[in-house]
A and B are shown apart, each in its own frame.
Chain A
């Protein structure tokens, strides 16, 4: 339970993204870790099990058999129908996010194999405007669900998101309804859907597809909730309990099935899929 200590210091959920360079200081225990060792441990700390935030393709490399991933709907891109401008135009934020990440949006979807089992997979990317869900994320999730439905392959979605994207307002909100509605089709066809919740998964993504897995899995220490900790602190004026909204807290309260270390994630997913798919 050593990672609980860092949670109190870090209740706002502001973890830093993996910095470039040879040596990295662990956000959890302060250990200085060499990049090669971090990579070997799939970007988790060998001392305290702290899970660094990683990108869509990193997850795909971890979970999907080498050379089997076929990306779908890669070209679909956001449009700024509302002409949204806050301190910056939304159009510019999109451009910057694309440049920074090399992605077109906050989720990568596709087909692949896990130890030979065909799956449809979607992996969100927190670097892209906080992994927020606008029309494109909603549409790509909906298409991934359709793909799973048509190919009869299980669906896996790895979430990391600040929630629905403000710059698309009610259109973002509607993506929650859209993805949930599409999941009913998958459920009725009895095709498995496993939701993997990573740090952080909050707001409209948690309140739609991320919580609707047949099985919900979380990474250790991941922040998972509806309202963000800051909002709750502001609304209630109360100090938040230790470990509040972390994966272990959700497990304790009955909202996830299991917590799995990133190094065991693929094996655990394969094990579950086999149990579900085999006679």
Chain B
């Protein structure tokens, strides 16, 4: 399926290729290899289970960045109908790293917003590698306020290496744009469900990441800083990214224990990048269930609960 193979995925890919070869051989020569193929297929399943349940934190970071991983627009088209993409922040421009619009999810209209990466060099330049400028955060906020006005729940899909660190971004107030979103998302009068689908890097992710329910895909990562940058600052070298990933406790499995996220969304065996449809099917079901649970809470109570949820975050002693 993919040309891009991670080191630890190689044994799986090799076995899969072998099965493919045997099938072709069996088909062309009329030999019955079904028994052998079945054995190998079982072996692949075992291998996948083994590899994917024993990933290091750095390996998870690599999966989260896999170039074949589904991005927000993939999920939107696989999970929802009637998506109408809306553009622009009404102040400066239209940030292609931030997408959003109304769509139908099951029997509901929702506002869906996400940070969007590209698949190749050209589309990545167009999408700025999924790194929004201030106008991206302001566009997201405009769409959230629109959702609030028409009483539609908000779903955000996060996959970003961070807010863009550039001259224009600073001139136009990257910090203010993110701060404003945190503030407004905290008191938005409609349900917000946040899903970290890939990379959740720092304030750039949190800028659309405040919600009533924060979900995270099984192999996604979420942290205050990317492991490479952490390595360069704390170790003063780029070579400690694996250690940094370990120390940052950035996996879904870590973060649910710390109370930072509310629920882990399982991925198809072998990761979301190996089966977009199944990944979207699982997420769709969970989103429908979560929306249903939030839909009966009165806005005032919802905001109160949301603020209280964030009020409790963190650990200290006194």
Chain B residues with Cβ below 8 Å from A238 are 167
- Tell me if A172 counts as interface (CB < 8 A to partner B): yes
How distant is the Cα of A184 from the Cα of B313 in the complex, in angstroms? 17
Which of A135, A183, A208 interacts with B315 by CB under 8 Å?
A135
Q: Which of B219-247 contact A (CB under 8 A)?
A: 222-225, 229-230, 233-235, 240, 243-244, 247
Over the window 174-186 of chain B, the binary record of Cβ atoms lying under 8 Å from chain A Cβ atoms (1 yes, 0 no) is: 1110111011001
Query: Which single residue of chain B is at the shortest CB-CB distance from A138?
Result: B314
Contact B234 A166, beta carbon cutoff 8 Å: yes
Contact B316 A204, beta carbon cutoff 8 Å: no
Interface centre among A203, A209, A226 (most CB of B within 10 A): A226
Chain B residues with Cβ below 8 Å from A87 are 234-235
How distant is the Cα of A84 from the Cα of B240 in the complex, in angstroms? 14
Which of A164, A225, A245 interacts with B202 by CB under 8 Å?
A164
- Tell me if A86 counts as interface (CB < 8 A to partner B): yes
- Tell me if B93 counts as interface (CB < 8 A to partner A): no
**Contact status of A166 and B225, CB under 8 A, knowing A79-B316, A204-B202:** yes
- Tell me if B165 counts as interface (CB < 8 A to partner A): yes
Chain A residues with Cβ below 8 Å from B311 are 142, 178, 181-182
Minimum CB–CB distance for B294 against chain A, Å: 17
Q: Which of A45-87 contact B (CB under 8 A)?
A: 73, 75-79, 81-82, 84-87
- Tell me if A231 counts as interface (CB < 8 A to partner B): yes
- Tell me if B173 counts as interface (CB < 8 A to partner A): yes
Contact B247 A178, beta carbon cutoff 8 Å: no
- Tell me if A207 counts as interface (CB < 8 A to partner B): yes
Listed A/B pairs (16) with beta-carbon separation below 8 Å: A76-B317, A86-B234, A86-B243, A87-B234, A168-B224, A171-B315, A173-B203, A173-B260, A181-B307, A182-B307, A204-B202, A210-B179, A212-B180, A226-B178, A240-B167, A253-B172
Which of B179, B210, B250 interacts with A169 by CB under 8 Å?
B250
| A residues adjacent to B (C-beta < 8 A) | 73, 75-79, 81-82, 84-87, 134-136, 138-139, 142, 164-178, 180-185, 187-188, 203-204, 206-212, 224-227, 231-232, 235-236, 238, 240-241, 244-245, 249, 253-255
How distant is the Cα of A75 from the Cα of B163 in the complex, in angstroms? 35
Chain A residues with Cβ below 8 Å from B207 are 207
Chain A residues with Cβ below 8 Å from B249 are 82, 169-170
Contact B170 A166, beta carbon cutoff 8 Å: no
Interface centre among A172, A211, A245 (most CB of B within 10 A): A211
Contact B203 A204, beta carbon cutoff 8 Å: yes
Chain B residues with Cβ below 8 Å from A77 are 316-318
- Tell me if B248 counts as interface (CB < 8 A to partner A): yes
Chain A residues with Cβ below 8 Å from B171 are 249, 253
Interface centre among B170, B174, B249 (most CB of A within 10 A): B170
Chain A residues with Cβ below 8 Å from B172 are 253
Chain B residues with Cβ below 8 Å from A254 are 173
Summed over the interface, the residue pairs from A and B with CB atoms below 8 Å come to a total of: 200
Chain A residues with Cβ below 8 Å from B163 are 226-227
Contact B314 A135, beta carbon cutoff 8 Å: yes
Contact B313 A178, beta carbon cutoff 8 Å: yes
Contact B166 A166, beta carbon cutoff 8 Å: no
Contact B224 A184, beta carbon cutoff 8 Å: no
For the residues of B in contact with A, the DSSP-based class is helix
| B residues adjacent to A (C-beta < 8 A) | 163-167, 169-176, 178-180, 182-183, 186-187, 202-203, 206-207, 209-210, 222-225, 229-230, 233-235, 240, 243-244, 247-250, 255, 258, 260, 306-307, 310-311, 313-318
Query: Which single residue of chain B is at the shortest CB-CB distance from A224?
Result: B175
Chain A residues with Cβ below 8 Å from B210 are 177, 180-181
Minimum CB–CB distance for B264 against chain A, Å: 14
Contact B173 A253, beta carbon cutoff 8 Å: yes
Contact B307 A207, beta carbon cutoff 8 Å: no
Contact B165 A175, beta carbon cutoff 8 Å: no
Given A169-B248, A181-B182; 10 other pairs, CB 8 A cutoff = A76-B316, A177-B182, A177-B186, A180-B182, A181-B187, A181-B311, A184-B183, A207-B182, A212-B179, A240-B167
Query: Which single residue of chain B is at the shortest CB-CB distance from A225?
Result: B170
Chain A residues with Cβ below 8 Å from B176 are 207, 211, 255
How distant is the Cα of A241 from the Cα of B168 in the complex, in angstroms? 11
Contact B170 A184, beta carbon cutoff 8 Å: no
Contact B307 A211, beta carbon cutoff 8 Å: no
Chain A residues with Cβ below 8 Å from B173 are 211, 253-255
How distant is the Cα of A240 from the Cα of B171 in the complex, in angstroms? 12
Query: Which single residue of chain B is at the shortest CB-CB distance from A179?
Result: B182
Minimum CB–CB distance for A122 against chain B, Å: 16
**Contact status of A184 and B235, CB under 8 A, knowing A136-B316, A226-B174, A244-B170:** no
How distant is the Cα of A182 from the Cα of B224 in the complex, in angstroms? 20
Minimum CB–CB distance for A106 against chain B, Å: 13
**Contact status of A171 and B175, CB under 8 A, knowing A139-B316, A203-B203:** no
